[in-house]
A and B are shown apart, each in its own frame.
Chain A
C-alpha cells in the first residue's frame, strides 16, 4: 500500500464531501430567499422542531441550571465568593449552556427525525416523485425545516435560559440556603443584553446546522433501511460536532475582541 495514495484519497474524499455539502447548503439558502415559500409547511415544522422539543429542552435546562449553581457554590465558597453564584449561573446559562445544551438535545431529536424521514422518502423514490410533479424537493422539504429550525431555536433557547436560571434559583434557595429575594435581585440586576443576545445568535446558527445536517444526510441516503439508519446516525453525529465547533468560533467572534 502506498501511504501517500491513501492520504490523498482521504483528502480528496474530504474535499468532495465538503463541496457537496456547500452546494447543498447554497441551494437551500437560495431556496429560502426565492418564492414560493410553503408557509403551512414552515408552521408544521415549527411545531415539530420547536414546540415538541420544549419538554426535553426545558427539563435538561432545569437540571443543568441546578447543577451549575451547586458546582459554582462549591468552588466559590473556597474563596468566600458565594455571592457570585447568581451572576455566574446567569452568565453561564445565557451565554453557553442554554444554547449548547438545547442545541445538542435538538440535534439528537430533530436531526435524527429529519434524516430518517427524508432518507425514507429518498429510498422510496418519493423525492423523485416530487420532482416529476414539478415541485422542487429542496423548496418543499429542506427550506421549511431550515426556516423553522432557525426561527424556533432562539425561542427555545430563550425559554431554556429562563428555566435554567430558575433551576439555579431553586437549587440555591432550597439547597444552599440563599435568600430568595437577594438571589432574584442579584440575577435581575446582572442581566445584560449582550449575554442574552449572543446566546440567541448562537441558537439560530445551531438551528441552521441541525436542520441542514438532517436534510443533507437524508437526501444522500441510499440502499434501503440500512442506508437510512446510517444517514440518521451521521446526521446526529455531524450536527453535534459541527454545532460544538461553531460554538467555539462564535464565542471567539462574539466575546474575544
Chain B
C-alpha cells in the first residue's frame, strides 16, 4: 500500500472511552473517486471512526491523512480548511431546527465560505432540486418534514458546497424500504455528479451493495476484511458471512453494553 494517491487514510487509529476500547488500530485507505462502505454491527465504532476523521473526536493513537497530509491533530483554521473538503450526512439528518430548510442547505456556503445570502439561496434551491425537492420546500422548517424528506435535505446540505469527500452515516436507517432505495439512488447519482470520494457506514446490506465499489468490515475496533463489492459473497471470512446473512449463530457475539 503506497501512500501516494489515497484520498483519506487511517493508520493504526485507536480510540477508547474510559475502559472501553472502541477503535483498536484501524488501518483503512480510501482511494480517489472510490465509494467505500464500512459495515459492522451496532456499537462497533463505525461512527467513532468517522468522527475521528472529521476531528469531532481526537484519536488516542494513530494517524489520519487527507490528500496525503496528516490532519490528526489540526485545530482551528487549519482544521476548518480541511473540513471544507468534506460533506457529511448524519444518521438522523441533524438539521438545524432553528433555521428554514434552505438555510440548512446553504449553511456551509454562508458560514463556512462567506457567500452572500441571495447567491447561497439560489444554490440551495438548485441542490434541493438535485435531491428531488421543489423550491417551496426551502421555506419550510425541518420539523415539518418527514424522515425521508429530512434525509434528502441532509443530503442536499452534504453536497451543497461540492465537497471532495462525502461521509454517509447510516443513510438508510429508519426509512421504509422504498424511501431507502430512493436515498440509495440519490446517493449514487449525486455522488457521480459531484465526482466525490465517499465513505459510508451502514449495517444495511442492501444499501451497502447498491452504493459500494468496495466494502470493508469493522469488528471489535479493527478492519477484519475488505474487498470489492462483488467479492463479499465469497469472502471466506466467517465473521463477514454471519453478518451479511444476518445469522444469530456464528463467531460474532452480541455485546450488550456499548
Contact = CB atoms under 8 A, between A and B. Distances in A.
Main secondary structure of the interface of A (DSSP, over half): helix
B254 interface: no
A134 interface: yes
Nearest to A129: B94
B55 A125 contact: no
B96 A132 contact: no
B83 interface: yes
B32 interface: no
Given A126-B95, A128-B51, A128-B56, A133 B90 contact: no
Q: Sort chain A's interface into a size bin.
A: 10 to 19
A178 interface: no
A132 B54 contact: yes
A133 B54 contact: no
Contacts of A133: 83, 107-108, 111-112, 157
Interface string A113-127: 000000001001110
B91 interface: yes
Contacts of B86: 132
A125 B87 CA distance: 14
A135 interface: yes
B55 to A, nearest CB: 7
Nearest to B81: A134
A135 B83 CA distance: 9
B146 to A, nearest CB: 16
Interface residues of B, number: 23
A131 interface: yes
B193 interface: no
Contacts of A128: 51, 54, 56, 90, 94
Residue of A124, A130, A131, A132 most packed against chain B (CB within 10 A) = A132
A125 B92 contact: yes
Contacts of B88: 129, 132
Interface in A125-171: 125-126, 128-136, 140
A126 B99 CA distance: 12
Contact of A134 (B83, B91, B92, B95): B83
Nearest to A120: B97
A134 B96 contact: no
Contacts of B97: 126
Contacts of A124: 92, 94
Contacts of B209: none
Interface of B: 51, 54-56, 80, 83-84, 86-88, 90-92, 94-97, 107-108, 111-113, 157
17 contacts: A121-B96, A124-B94, A125-B90, A128-B94, A129-B94, A131-B54, A131-B55, A132-B56, A132-B86, A133-B111, A133-B157, A134-B111, A134-B113, A135-B108, A135-B111, A135-B112, A140-B111
Given A126-B97, A130-B96, A134-B111, 14 more contacts: A124-B92, A128-B56, A129-B90, A131-B54, A132-B54, A132-B87, A133-B83, A133-B107, A133-B111, A133-B112, A134-B83, A134-B113, A135-B111, A135-B112
Interface of A: 121, 124-126, 128-136, 140
